Amino acid sequence: EAKARGGDRRHWFDAEMDEQAQRTARLSTDLLGALDRDEFFLLFQPIVELPHGRAAGVEVLLRWRHPEHGLVSPDVFIPLAERNARIVEIGRWVLESACRQAAEWQRRFGAQAPAKISINVSARQLAEPGFVAEVEDILARTGVDRAALLLEVTETAVLEAGAPLEAVRELRERGLRVALDDFGTGQSSLSLLLTVPVDVLKVDKSFVSGAAADHAGAVIVEHLIGFTNGLRIEAVAEGVETEDQANRLHAAGYSLAQGYLFGRPATATEIESRMLPAPVA
Ligand code: C2E
Ligand code: MG
Ligand code: MG
Ligand code: MG
């Protein structure tokens, strides 16, 4: 075996591929029981106002603690959950847990509670016929003020089918706000903005991190803000890591940003001690 692997690159390569495929298959299977085993938890990353960095809200980010592999990145397990359809139940858990947390903050901190709670929603969830009713159900059960909620969908998600578009419209008719996430990474970003009615545009970090160094990135970032202003859409710059990026974004007209510069994803307790005042009662 060892000789075959060492002496023949192709066999060695196949073995690697095999290991990768096996790990993926294993993770996918493990995902099926992860909710029941209580392996998910939520982190919250601040969204702030520029230039001072005052808290404007938080984005809810899902984490999976695998018993053997430790923390698995959502960039790895969300696509798997979308493929094995578990995303529907997992997404429901995220929505309900996030709304429960948001309602608790609203009760404890009143007007000082995070003004915006951004929750990622997958295309598979949006395409479920009962999704809007389910959202209403969760809102009623948790008692959260819907005015604080923002549902984030990626452009690729919206492009996948016509059904999500209908759901987006209906959610907005019901007073929920919708954000287009990772804007600029998809195929038809600009035309999508004209057909999908959204409240917020999250400009992808690939443009933001490019903004300081790379001319094309800077030009795109600067023109997007004019575009969103004209359409009365709020823009949030994602992935801000340096003061220089923050300054340039502010100079370009951005008033909302998110990134490691202002805070990494953190637990609810950490968010409370960093962003929120001491509770009144
Ligand atoms: P996203 O919605 O675009 O979330 C922002 C991601 O960028 C997060 O990664 C966040 O930790 C990361 N980030 C924030 N600031 C910075 C920065 O300054 N620099 C860099 N390099 N990265 C930064 P995370 O938490 O690993 O999540 C990755 C993606 O997984 C999310 O991208 C989202 O698409 C998906 N995801 C996360 N939670 C959920 C969820 O509950 N449901 C669904 N459907 N998708 C989720
Ligand atoms: Mg997001
Ligand atoms: Mg994003
Ligand atoms: Mg992303």
DSSP secondary structure of 68-123: TTEEE-HHHHHHHHHHSSTHHHHHHHHHHHHHHHHHHHHHHHGGGS-SEEEEE--H
Distance of CA 270 from the midpoint of ligand 1 (Å): 18
Q: Which two tokens mark 51?
A: 């230039």
β pairing state of 177-183 and 116-120 = unpaired
Instruction: Confirm if 56 and 116 have CB atoms less than 8 A apart.
Output: yes
Atom of ligand 1 nearest to the CA of 82: 44
Distance of CA 182 from the midpoint of ligand 4 (Å): 5
Atom of ligand 1 nearest to the CA of 202: 3
Separation between Cα atoms, residue 247 and residue 41, nearest integer Å:
33
pLDDT in tens, 98-132: 999 999 999 999 999 999 999 999 988 998 999 99
DSSP state of 148: G
How far CA 39 is from CA of 79, 201, 225, 264, in Å, comes to 17, 31, 39, 21
Distance of CA 215 from the midpoint of ligand 4 (Å): 22
Average pLDDT, the chain: 89
pLDDT in tens, 147-188: 999 999 987 777 765 667 889 999 999 999 999 998 888 766
Q: Which two tokens mark 39?
A: 């392996």
Which residues fall inside 5 Å of ion ligand 2, going by CB?
Answer: 120, 152, 181
How far CA 206 is from CA of 9, 53, 81, 92, in Å, comes to 35, 21, 25, 29
Other beta carbons within 10 Å of 113: 19
The residue whose CA is least distant from atom 27 of ligand 1 is 74
- Using most ligand atoms within 8 A of CB, pick from 78, 82, 84, 138 the residue to mutate for ligand 1: 78
The residue whose CA is least distant from atom 33 of ligand 1 is 120
Per mean pLDDT, which of 1-15, 16-30, 50-64 is the most reliable? 50-64
Atom of ligand 1 nearest to the CA of 121: 44
Separation between Cα atoms, residue 120 and residue 182, nearest integer Å:
11
Separation between Cα atoms, residue 55 and residue 113, nearest integer Å:
10
Read off the pLDDT band of 76 (50, 70, 90): very high
The residue whose CA is least distant from atom 4 of ligand 1 is 61
